[in-house]
Structure 1
Amino acid sequence: MKTLVCFSMLLLGLANLPAQAREATQPSALATSLSCQLPAAAPAAGAGQTLFDEYSWQLFVALNWPAQDGQRGSPDCTKQPGGSGYTVWQTYKSVAEIFLPNAANPGPWDSVLRAKSLGLINIAALKNTNQQERVDQAVGGWLIDQAGNPTYYDIAANETSYDYIVNNTFYNANVVSNASSIKFPNGVIEVKSSWRILTSKDNASRYLNMIAQVTTFDAQGKPNGVAQQLLGLVGLHIITKPVGYPQWVWSTFEQIDNVPADPSTHGSYYDPAATTVNQSPCNWNTQGAHPVCVPVSGTTFQTPDPLTRVTAIDSATDKVNATYRADPGLKNSPLKYYQLITTQRPLNPNMIGNPMGTPTPTLSANVTMESYIQPTSSCMACHSMATPPKSAIKSDYSYLFKFAQTPGATPSPIKE
C-alpha cells in the first residue's frame, strides 16, 4: 500500500522520537482461539457478562489484526494480531473521508488510504452542538496527559455503515436532516479512538502506535500549526449492531497504563502526588445544563490531576481480561497491554414499551473519552439522543451525521 511505504520513509526523519516498537511481522502459527475474523454473532440476549466480554475481546483482536494491503477492512491472516502496519479498523473510513466539503460524494469504499491527521476538540460536547470542527470526547474539557500533551480523537466506520450513508446520500446535511427515518443495517461497526503523544520516556512497545500529523496548540489552547508525532492508542470504543440488538452493543477498551490500579503509582494520566483537580486550559463551569469552557489567561497545558477511574472494572470482566492478555498469541503483541472496561448492551432488546432495552451494566465510562462524566456515563443513554444537524429525528444511536456537510456552504475543517 502506498501509504505504508510513505510511513516507512517518514520514520527516517523522526530521529528525535522513540522508535516505533510494533513487533516484527511473522507468519501466524497460533495454537489459540484468537481469530482474524469478526465473531459471527453476539451472545443471546440475557447472556451473562462473561459471554459479552468474550465477544468484545473477539472484536478487539479481529479489528486489531493487520489489514491486507489495498483492501480496506480486510485482515491479513498471515500476520499476528497487533502486528506492524494499519489494523483492520484503521482502514475503515474516517469522518474526514465520509463527509467531504460541499457534501461531495465520497466515492468507492476501497479508495487509497491516506496518511492520518488527527485534531483535538476544544468545543462543547458533540452531542450538544452542531459545530463540526473536530472529534470531541463525550463531555467536558481537554484531556491532558502527564507529559503535558493533549489527547487526540478519531471516528471511523466500516463498509456496511459507509455503504448505508453513501447509498442514501446521508453525507449531505440537507438530505439526512430531512430524512423520515434513519436505521442502519445489521453488521455496522463504528470505532472511536483516543491517542496520546509518545515521548522518549514512554515504552512504545506497550501501545498500538502510529505516526500521524496532529494539530498543535499555544498556551491558550489556540491551534498554531501541525506536527508529525508518534501516537499511542489509549482508548477504543467499538460499537456494533449485530442481529437482534437494535440498541447496538457497546465495547470499550483502554491501555492499561492510563490510570493504574495501584493509586500509589504513576500513570499516563495520573499523578499520585496530585491533590487537586486542574482542568486547564479551561476552568469548567458545570452549573448550567452543559459544561462551559472559561479560558484561563496565560496558562499552559496542565493535567486534570488526579484522573481516576470512578467505576471499578467488574470482577467478571477482569477475569476475561486476564485470560486474553495472557493468551500465547498475544505474547509479542502490544494488545496484551489493553483491557476491556466493560461491554454494555440491552438486557431486553426487543421488549415492547422499553425502547432502550434496559442498558446493562447501567454505567459505561472510558477514562480517556468520558473523563469528566464518569459517575453518570452511559454509552447507550448518550447515543440514544443522537440526531442529524437541525433535525429532531433520531439517528439510530449514531453521532456520525453531526459531520455531514452542506452543499455550497463554507466547509467545516473536519480533521481525520
Structure 2
Amino acid sequence: MSHRPFMLLPVAIGAMGLMACPAKTLVEPVQPLPPTSVGDSAASSCPADPSWLTSSTLPGEVPGNQSICNFQQFMWQSMLALVQPASGDPTRLQFETWMPSYGIFIKDGTPTPWGQEPPNSCSSIQKAASIAGTTPSKPPRVYSDITKQAGADQPLIDLKGEFVYYGMSVNQSIYNMLTSCQLYMANCAGPLKPGNKGIDLISKYPNLALPNTAVELKTSWMVLDGSGFNPDLFYVVPGIIQYKGGPCRQVNLGLVGMHIVAKTPNFPAMIWATFEHRNNAPDCSNTSAAPPLGGSWNFFNPNCTNCTTNTYQPGKPAQVCRMHPEGDSATGTFPDGNDCKANPNQFACQDKTRAMLAQSSEAINAINSSVQSLIQANPTLINKVWANYELVGNVWTVGGTLPPYLQAQQGALSAANTSMETFVQNGVAAVSNPYNCMSCHNMQGPTNSQNLPPVGLSHLFDNVQMPGGCENGSLPTTCNPYLSNP
C-alpha cells in the first residue's frame, strides 16, 4: 500500500476473511491428535510490553513458551507495529505502505513494482482533479470498491445506509513470493483459484508455501461523512470509494476492523487474529449494554424493536451483535439454541476444549486491558486512538499442524469480526460451531481426496485475472526458494 501521488490503502479481503467453502472433508494426517496446552500459564496475567507502543518491528515468532497468552502478545505487538509511522514517510502508517491486492492481481501487464502506487479505476479522476487544481488538502489514502463480505457474499450496511468497504494487502515478503512464482497468472496459480485450470501444483509442488515472514491484512472501513459519529474515536483517513463501477466518491473513512494473518517458522498454518473498533456491536446476550467508548454503537440500533440480528436484508441497515465474545465457541448465542446444555457432546463443549477456550478469552481480555492502559498512561504518545480498538479473536494450530483441522486448532475457535464476518458467525449455513478463519482457509483441494499445497491456506488467489504463465508446465526457477518443506 505505498502511495504516490495519492496514498491508497488497500481495504480488505478474501485473504483473512471467511470464504464460502464447499462441504468437503479435509485430508487429515494419519497421526495422533496433538495435545492442547490447557495447563499452560495462559491468562491470569497477560501483560503488554510498553516498548510496543513505539516499535515498528514486527515479531518473527511467538515468544516465550508459546502459551495461549504468548499468542495474544504476538498479535498485539504486531498490531502496534503496523500502526507506527512508515520509515521514510511519517505521514503514513507502516501498514499503509503494503501492496494492495489490486496491485498484484491485474488483467494484463505486470504487478505494480513494490513501493509504487498501483492504478485503480478512479486514478484518472484523481489525476484530472490534480491537474485542475481541485485536489483536496488531504489526498485519499484508501481506495476500495469491495463491499461484499467473504463467506456470506453479502454487504454490511451501516445504520445510515452506507456500505462498509473492504481492502486487502500483503507485506513485501508475500509480494516477492507471488511475483517470483508468477502466481498472479492463471496457469501458474492452477487449483489455488477454485475452478481454475493450469499446472498441477498439488502433485508437482506439494510443499509450495508462503515464506515464514508472510503477513496478510484485511481492513474494514465505515463512511463517516454525515454520520453523527465522533471521528475522534476512529483512525480516520480520506478515501475514494466506488460501487459497482459507478461514480468515485471522496469520503472520510473510519477503520472498524483489521484481520492480521502471520506465518512464522513454528506455525506454517499461520496465526489468524482479528481486531475491532470497541463500539462496533454489543454482545447478543447483552444488547442493552452501552457502547464502551460512549456515543452510539457503529452497527447496532437499540431503538429498533423489530430488527433481526445478524441477518442480511437488501437495502436495509444491518442489526449486528456478537454471538461468541472473544471467539469462545462454548459460550454466547447459538443457532436454534444448540448450546452446551442442549448438546453437551459438541467438540466445543468437551471439558478440555472449554478449559482452553476460557483461558483464551481470559488472555484476550487481559491483554486488551493492558494495552489500553499503557496507551492512555503514556504522556508522549500523540495518537491515543488505538486504545479504541481491541483483539476479539486469535486462532492457530497446536504444534504447527497442517492441515489445520478442528481438533488441532487452539485459541478462539469461533473467532469472527462483526464488521467482516457479520452473517457467518456460526458458519456459512449458520449451523456450524466452532467456526473461524481456518474453517475455510484449510488447504481443501478440488476433490475430497486432495489437499492444496500450504500456500493454498491463503485465498489471495481468488483474485487471479491474468491468463497464461508457466507454459512449460512448471513454475519459474525464480520460485525455487519457496519450494522447500514449509
**TM-score exceeds 0.5:** yes
List per-residue Cα deviations over 1:90-141 (Å, max 9, x = no partner): 2111111011222x3215322247753201344xxxxxxxxxxxxx433242
Q: 1:193 matched to which residue of 2? A: 219
What fraction of aligned residue pairs are identical, expressed as a percent? 24
1:54, distance to aligned residue in structure 2 (A): 1.3
Kept after mapping to 2: 8 A contact 1:144/1:303: yes
C-alpha distance in 2, partners of 1:151/1:227? 14
Distance in 2, matches of 1:278 and 1:2, equals: 38
Q: 1:40 aligns with which of 50, 60, 65?
A: 60
Is the 1:359–1:380 contact (alpha carbons within 8 Å) kept by the matching residues of 2?
no
Deviation at 1:385, TM superposition (A): 4.2
User: Could you tell me which amino acid in structure 1 is paired with residue 260 of structure 2?
Assistant: I
Q: Which residue of 2 aligns with 1:263?
A: 287
Does the aligned pair in 1 maintain the 2:224–2:253 contact within 8 Å?
yes
Work out the CA distance in 1 between the residues paired with 2:221 and 2:458: 21
The answer for the alignment partner of 1:126 in structure 2 is: none
Distance in 1, matches of 2:394 and 2:309, equals 30
Q: Which amino acid aligns with 1:257?
A: N
Look at both structures and tell me which one has the larger radius of gyration over its CA atoms.
2
2:318 maps to 304
Partner residue in 2 for 1:162: 175
Q: CA deviation at 1:4?
A: 6.8
Structure 1's 140 and 110: CA in aligned 2 closer, same or farther, altered over 3 A?
closer
Contact between 2:279 and 2:297, CA under 8 Å: does it hold in 1? yes
1:289-311 CA distance string (max 9 Å, x none): xxxxxxx5xxxx32122x10001
For residues 17-416 of structure 1, the aligned pairs below 5 Å read 32-34=51-53, 35-43=55-63, 47-69=66-88, 85-102=91-108, 104-112=109-117, 116-122=142-148, 136-177=149-190, 178=199, 179=201, 180-181=204-205, 182-200=208-226, 201-216=228-243, 224-260=246-282, 263-264=287-288, 265=290, 266-274=296-304, 275-277=306-308, 283=313, 301-305=315-319, 307-313=320-326, 314-327=361-374, 328-329=377-378, 332-350=383-401, 357-375=408-426, 376=433, 377-385=435-443, 393-394=452-453, 395-407=455-467
Letter in 2 for 1:379: C
Distance in structure 2 (CA, Å) of the matches to 1:270 and 1:59: 29
Contact 1:236 1:253 in 2 (8 A): yes
* 1:130-168 deviations in Å (ceiling 9; x for gaps): xxxxxx433242111112111111110101100000001
Structure 1 pair 54–361 and aligned structure 2 pair: CA distance change class (3 A):
same
| Number of residue equivalences | 335
Q: Please tell me whether the aligned partners of residues 269 and 400 of structure 2 are also in contact (alpha carbons under 8 angstroms).
A: yes
- Structure having the higher helix fraction is 2
> In 2, Cα distance between the equivalents of 1:188 and 1:311?
28
Residue 248 of structure 1, CA deviation: 0.4
1:198 Cα deviation after fit: 0.8
- 3-state DSSP class of the match of 1:249? strand
Going from structure 1 to structure 2, the CA distance change for 1:405 and 1:140 (only over 3 Å counts) comes to closer
Secondary structure at 1:326 match in 2: helix
Counterpart code for 1:404 = V
Q: Structure 2: which amino acid aligns with 1:60?
A: M
Q: How much does 1:399 deviate? A: 0.4
Shift of 1:260: 3.8
- TM-score if structure 2 supplies the norm length? 0.62
Cα 1:44–1:237 shift into 2, 3 Å = same
8 A Cα contact 1:252 1:343, kept in partner: yes
> Are the aligned partners of 2:321 and 2:418 in contact in 1 as well (CA < 8 Å)?
yes
Asked whether the 8 Å contact 2:2–2:97 carries over to 1, the reply is: no
CA distance 1:386–1:188, shift in 2 (3 Å): farther
Deviates more, 1:256-265 or 1:345-354: 345-354
How many Å separate the matches in 1 of 2:407 and 2:184?
27
One-letter code of the match for 1:165? L
Q: Which amino acid aligns with 1:373?
A: V
Q: Decide whether the 8 Å contact of 1:171 with 1:401 is kept in 2.
A: yes
Q: Secondary structure at the match of 2:247?
A: strand
Q: CA deviation at 1:31?
A: 6.8
User: Which ranges of structure 2 fall in alignment gaps of 5 or more residues?
Assistant: 8-48, 120-139, 191-198, 291-295, 327-360, 427-432, 469-486
Check 1:168–1:387 CA distance in 2 against 1; reply closer, same or farther (3 A cut): farther
Distance 1:276 1:140 in 2: 21
Distance 1:31 1:234, change over 3 A: closer
In structure 2, do the counterparts of structure 1 residues 4 and 318 end up closer, same or farther at CA, with 3 Å as the change threshold?
farther
Amino acid of the structure 2 residue aligned with 1:190: E
User: How has the CA–CA distance of structure 1 residues 53 and 352 changed in structure 2, closer, same or farther, with 3 Å as cutoff?
Assistant: closer
Question: SS where residue 467 of structure 2 aligns?
Answer: coil
Question: d(CA) in 2 for partners of 1:268 and 1:348?
Answer: 38
Given the superposition, is the C-alpha separation of residues 101 and 271 from structure 1 closer, same or farther in structure 2, using an over 3 Å criterion?
same
Question: Quick check: 1:49–1:317 contact (8 Å CA) kept in 2?
Answer: no
Give the TM-score normalised by structure 1.
0.72
From the superposition, tell whether residues 392 and 226 of structure 1 become closer, same or farther in structure 2 (CA, over 3 Å): farther
Amino acid at match of 2:238: I
- Contact kept, 8 Å, 1:173 with 1:405, in 2: the verdict is yes
Contact map agreement 2:263 2:269 (CA 8 A) in 1: yes
Alignment correspondent of 2:31: none
Q: Distance in 2 between matches of 1:97 and 1:367?
A: 27
Q: RMSD between aligned alpha carbons?
A: 3.2
